[in-house]
Amino acid sequence: MTEQMNALFEESGLTSRHQRIDETRVHKELQQHFGLTGTLHPIDTEKDSTFRLRTQGGDYLVKVSPRDEPLPIVRCQTDVIDWVQRVDPSIPVQSVLRTHDGANHRVLHDSDGAYLGALRVLEFIPGTMLGEADATPQQLARVGAMLGKVDLALQGFEHEGLDRPLVWNISNFLVLEPLLNYETNPERRAMAEQIFALYRERLEPMRHSLRSQVIHGDLSAFNAVVDPDSEQFITGVIDFGDVQINPVIFEPAVLFANHLLPAPANPWSTARDMLVGYLSEFELSDEEIELLAVASIARVALRALVTNWRIVHVPERAEYLRSHAREDWDRIENTLAFGIDAGAAYLLTARVGSHHENSRA
């Protein structure tokens, strides 16, 4: 692993062991500083110690950051939620609960004064994860439209915690090329090499001139809560843990990466439905849409290759990791077979749909 790549993994918290904080301490903090008592139920997540708190008055999401994650980064993840709520209250983010003294987080220390992490309490939004819903094209468009609204709301947000390296940042894709060595299947490695070549040829020369701003960075199939019976459909935009400054197209690219179809059909059909909605709220140029196709497949390859690395280095998390990258190689194979240029051309047809959505609004 190169020094630069190693730094990315360290800063992203992927080289440290996932250690949960003592639940007794969490109970004490919740009661003393938030006035909350109830039952904690652990939730399996990537970095934070995360719990669902069940109380007589309702449920909450409780998160304690890892001790090696700098406090400004943790604060940014909470402050950005407050920002979005102020700018556009119609966006269904998780409200942040305040401590008795009005803070949106509680810094924890051990008996020796050593930093343990920051505790945050968020509204728990019930519902179905987008990845578990059988959404219609109209519902998928609503997901895209909500993401467009989020990006509009994030314009102007500034924070010291935004300045950090992150493995999942698509801008770092070429830095992670040595991860090819962790793929032992020759067919899969060849597909990944093709994607690195596409990125290097088409996206990298344009990356620094692309329109950039703060983006959510991780509206994946498991960070969007939906209600199939609701007209709004998307009822929760959660987990701002990857908020970052990046080219705007990397925002829908993350969403699309989770919805490229792995079966032998048009892999972009679901993504196009989402793009129809996104364009109804947030306009992209033709060039941005064409590069979006490359960014989307790069994100799939990034996740698949990082998963290989993490299974080797954190074997106790193998089941969790495989569950979140189960179909990635099938997505890659089907998308490359369809053709990136064909995919870009198909995404461009979303403009017709977005104009139709706007005319109905």
Q: What is the CATH number of the domain that holds 173?
A: 3.90.1200.10
Closest alpha carbon to 42 in 68, 64, 69: 64
Per-residue burial over 195-229, b = 16 or more CB atoms within 10 Å of its CB, e = otherwise: bbebbeebbeeebeebebebbbbbbbbebbbbbee
- C-alpha to C-alpha distance for 333 and 188, rounded to whole angstroms: 8
Q: What is the CATH number of the domain that holds 40?
A: 3.30.200.20
Last residue of a domain, one of 104, 123, 142: 123
Say what the pTM is: 0.91
Q: What is the DSSP string of 90-113?
A: TS-BPPBPPPTTS-S-EEEE-TT-
Bin 200: left if φ > 0, else alpha if -120 < ψ < 50, else beta: alpha
State which residues form the domain around 119.
17-123
Task: Work out the average pLDDT over 150-167.
Answer: 94
In the three-class reduction of DSSP (H, G, I as helix; E, B as strand; rest coil), residue 54 is classed as strand
- pLDDT interval class at 360 (50, 70, 90): very low
**What does the block give as tokens for 244?**
């970052």
Task: Work out the average pLDDT over 143-147.
Answer: 98
Q: What is the pLDDT of residue 16?
A: 61
252 and 311 fall within a common domain: yes
Provide, rounded to the nearest whole percent, the portion of the chain with pLDDT above 90.
Answer: 79
- C-alpha to C-alpha distance for 121 and 104, rounded to whole angstroms: 8
For the chain, what is the domain count? Answer: 2
Last residue of a domain, one of 123, 140, 167: 123
**67 part of a folded domain:** yes
- pLDDT interval class at 17 (50, 70, 90): low
Query: How far separated are the first and last CA of the chain, in Å rounded?
Result: 51
**10 part of a folded domain:** no
Task: Work out the average pLDDT over 17-26.
Answer: 80
Average the pLDDT over each of 115-129, 212-226, 243-257, 301-315 and give the range with the smallest value.
Answer: 301-315
Last residue of a domain, one of 89, 123, 157: 123
Task: Work out the average pLDDT over 80-84.
Answer: 98
